Chain A
Amino acid sequence: MAMQSQAKRELLALYEEPDQAADAVERLHGAGFEDNDIEILSSTPYPEGAFGEGHTKHRLFAFPFAGAACGMAVGIAWIVGAQVSLPIITGGKPVVAVPAIIQILYEGTLLGAVLFTVLGVLFESRLPDGVGLYDDRISEGYIGISVMARERRLPDAQIALEEASPIDLLSKEGSLMHAPGTT
């Protein structure tokens, strides 16, 4: 029973107007919910903070750096491999001259950075799980405010969301505002 009260459940409210959605976020904050518990879903990107939400953190910018380091390592291995496999010294010059080294390192670094950025986008898009509750009306232009709340705090979340006049309020079981079978 105690475990059940610790588990988080999700509510999703749909709003017609951005101002209503912003009002909902403000009321959720007022009810003590953290930014981490709140998710905003929209079919058009709104400026960050438009709904009063906190700064969304992501780590995409770490991926190119990690990739660049890996790619540069591959480049170094390529150069060292060339030097080791063909150790013929012509006129006292190194097998791999510095300009050629720079080109190979640049290429390896760029390759790693691009590949890791692509992987980073997939990772940061929360693949493969994605978001929990969803509703197709969001892709029709309505704004969704989703909140994760512990069982005992669900009523607080529901009140905060309802006070901002949503057109619908959904839980995992279905709409909390309409009779079953209607939309």
Chain B
Amino acid sequence: MIAPEAAGLKLSLRPPYRPQALSISLNHAGIALLAALGVLGIVVYVIKLITAWGDRAEWAYPTVVLMFILSTATAAPLIAYASRMAKGYWALPLRRVAALYAVPSLLSFVLLIPIMASLPPLDGRSTLWFEFRAGAPFLTDALALAILLLTGMALLWFSAVPDLAGPPSRVRAMGRWQRLLYLNWAGTARQWKVLRAANLALGAFYLMGYAFVHMLLTTDLGQSLLPGWRSGIFPVYSAVTGIQAGIAITLLTAALMRRFSPEAGRFIGDEQAAALGKILVAATLMWFYFFWSDFLLIWYARLPSEVAAMQVTVAITYILPFALTGVLMFALPLALLIFNRVRQSLSLISGVSAMIVVGLLFDRIRFFVAPMANPSPFGHAMTELPAPYWPNALDVLFVIGFIGLMIAVFVYAASRIPVLNGWEMRQGAMLRKERTFMKTHVYVIGKPD
């Protein structure tokens, strides 16, 4: 049995344990590096805006970063929702960490605008929107992403209010709008109940929005720009591998929290690794299932236009990123995660998680660079296979800088909002006790809701 960290079971209710935000300083080498990367990300984004507005090929690697963010940071809050829904107490120290990724997810909207502005007209190419032209795809996609981001922020904020509001006298002294923002928090039984219900309802909407955004963007930024690429499985593949990477980035963050945050670190341990590790194995197997389902259909049907598209993303043009993806997202993680020792150790599983996150970047390169850089997206089939579009120096800086910016924004958010969900952890401590059972010890867990 993997025991929870002892500190999590002994939380004080009076005075109530109140988690703190991360304490960060630019004097720390890691934070300084992140800040520098963040600045680099902003600078290269502005350079791209000025020099490459409307040039679709120039936005190919930013599209990779967009889909990377949507598959890591944007997927992570789903863990908070899923563990609340399934009443998984093991996830209590991770829920806020996962939900905080809603903040860096906002960067995806900043990327989406210039990318959508560079898309060619819908006429003459395959599209989800058929003849519908009233705002599609720009307005429809931007609105869908905005709904998802709004839901993520609402989930984060509502769950953070009890930790942030402070005593009622402080809330009462606030201005009208600030009080509104803090839900006029007093801790009444009704407020607690509404908060729990809101977390579940918004979590469900977040999941619905996540799947929808992946469907729209994988099609509008991928399939509809590469003639012959027709896959009903790819949007699901994108969403599921996003969940795989979302779990990986949460585990990676948890390992870093344990290493660098003494306060949060005492609650995070192998219990979280063991529980999330099982889901990560399932998600890793799903990678192969969805890849193979997609591949086999096209292999068997042998339609020349579809085979050509598969040659671009898998077999010929982007074979190197595909091979790296296969190794880093499936083969190596599976080979390692089947061992209990790896799966049940936060240190070891964080190494596997790092592999998966890097593999995801190559995965998004093989899928989104070719469509975005394709000079002739019209028609139903490619006349010849395009040459690979490798990144130039600015693209490399963009990828490094913007992903650095994503991490920097997360760290900044974690320095403003407590990285642990204090009220849920206190409730968890109240409802989870270690008891002697015959000659062993067991955990008795109350799940009242």
Chain A residues near B (Cβ < 8 Å): 16, 39-48, 50, 53, 56, 58, 60-61, 64, 78-79, 81-82, 85-86, 90, 93-97, 99-100, 103-104, 106-107, 110-111, 113-115, 117-118, 120-122, 124-131, 134-136, 138-142
Stretch at the interface among B76-84, B139-147, B333-341: B139-147
- Tally A-B pairs: CB < 8 A: 190
> CB < 8 Å: which of B158, B179, B186, B449 contacts A121?
B158
Within the complex, what minimum Cβ distance (angstroms) separates A102 from chain B? Answer: 10
A41 touches B188 (CB 8 A): yes
> CB < 8 Å: which of B13, B187, B423 contacts A138?
B187
B201 interface residue per 8 A CB criterion? yes
A45 touches B192 (CB 8 A): yes
Residues on the A chain within 8 Å of B15, using CB: 140-141
Subset of 5 A-B contacts with CB under 8 Å? A58-B190, A104-B132, A107-B147, A125-B185, A125-B194
Residues on the B chain within 8 Å of A45, using CB: 192, 195-196, 423, 427
A41 touches B187 (CB 8 A): yes
B129 touches A100 (CB 8 A): yes
A128 touches B180 (CB 8 A): yes
Minimal Cβ-Cβ distance residue in B for A42: B187
Residues on the B chain within 8 Å of A44, using CB: 13, 16, 423, 426-427, 430
Give the distance in Å from the alpha carbon of A131 to the alpha carbon of B14 in the complex: 22
Within the complex, what minimum Cβ distance (angstroms) separates A14 from chain B? Answer: 11
Within the complex, what minimum Cβ distance (angstroms) separates A57 from chain B? Answer: 9
B179 touches A128 (CB 8 A): yes
Within the complex, what minimum Cβ distance (angstroms) separates A139 from chain B? Answer: 4
> C-beta contact mask, B167-209 vs A, less than 8 Å → 1, else 0?
1110110001001100111111111111111100110010011
Residues on the B chain within 8 Å of A117, using CB: 154, 198, 201-202, 205
Count how many chain B residues have C-beta atoms less than 8 Å from C-beta atoms of the other chain.
63
Give the distance in Å from the alpha carbon of A132 to the alpha carbon of B247 in the complex: 43
> CB < 8 Å: which of B140, B167, B194 contacts A139?
B167
Residues on the A chain within 8 Å of B198, using CB: 60, 117, 120-121
Minimal Cβ-Cβ distance residue in A for B193: A56
Give the distance in Å from the alpha carbon of A141 to the alpha carbon of B250 in the complex: 31
Contacts A56-B193, A134-B168; A127 near B16 (Cβ below 8 A): no
Residues on the B chain within 8 Å of A131, using CB: 168, 186, 188
> CB < 8 Å: which of A40, A41, A86, A125 contacts B183?
A125
Minimal Cβ-Cβ distance residue in B for A117: B201
Residues on the B chain within 8 Å of A50, using CB: 448
A124 touches B130 (CB 8 A): no
Give the distance in Å from the alpha carbon of A176 to the alpha carbon of B426 in the complex: 31
Give the distance in Å from the alpha carbon of A42 to the alpha carbon of B191 in the complex: 10
Residues on the B chain within 8 Å of A126, using CB: 184, 188, 190-191
A97 touches B189 (CB 8 A): no
Within the complex, what minimum Cβ distance (angstroms) separates A85 from chain B? Answer: 7
B187 touches A100 (CB 8 A): no
Contacts A16-B14, A58-B197, A117-B198; A90 near B192 (Cβ below 8 A): no
B21 interface residue per 8 A CB criterion? no
Task: Pick the most buried of B154, B188, B208: most chain A CB atoms within 10 A of its CB.
Answer: B188
A56 touches B197 (CB 8 A): no
Contacts A100-B136, A121-B158, A130-B186; A140 near B16 (Cβ below 8 A): yes
Residues on the B chain within 8 Å of A85, using CB: 134
A97 touches B132 (CB 8 A): yes
B446 interface residue per 8 A CB criterion? yes
Give the distance in Å from the alpha carbon of A134 to the alpha carbon of B136 in the complex: 52
Residues on the A chain within 8 Å of B16, using CB: 43-44, 139-141
Minimal Cβ-Cβ distance residue in B for A118: B154
Task: Pick the most buried of B128, B151, B176: most chain A CB atoms within 10 A of its CB.
Answer: B151
Give the distance in Å from the alpha carbon of A129 to the alpha carbon of B190 in the complex: 14
B130 touches A127 (CB 8 A): no
Residues on the A chain within 8 Å of B194, using CB: 58, 60, 121, 124-125
B14 touches A142 (CB 8 A): yes
> CB < 8 Å: which of B147, B179, B184 contacts A114?
B147
B138 interface residue per 8 A CB criterion? no
B150 interface residue per 8 A CB criterion? yes
Give the distance in Å from the alpha carbon of A114 to the alpha carbon of B205 in the complex: 7
Residues on the A chain within 8 Å of B132, using CB: 79, 82, 95-97, 100, 104
Residues on the A chain within 8 Å of B172, using CB: 130, 134
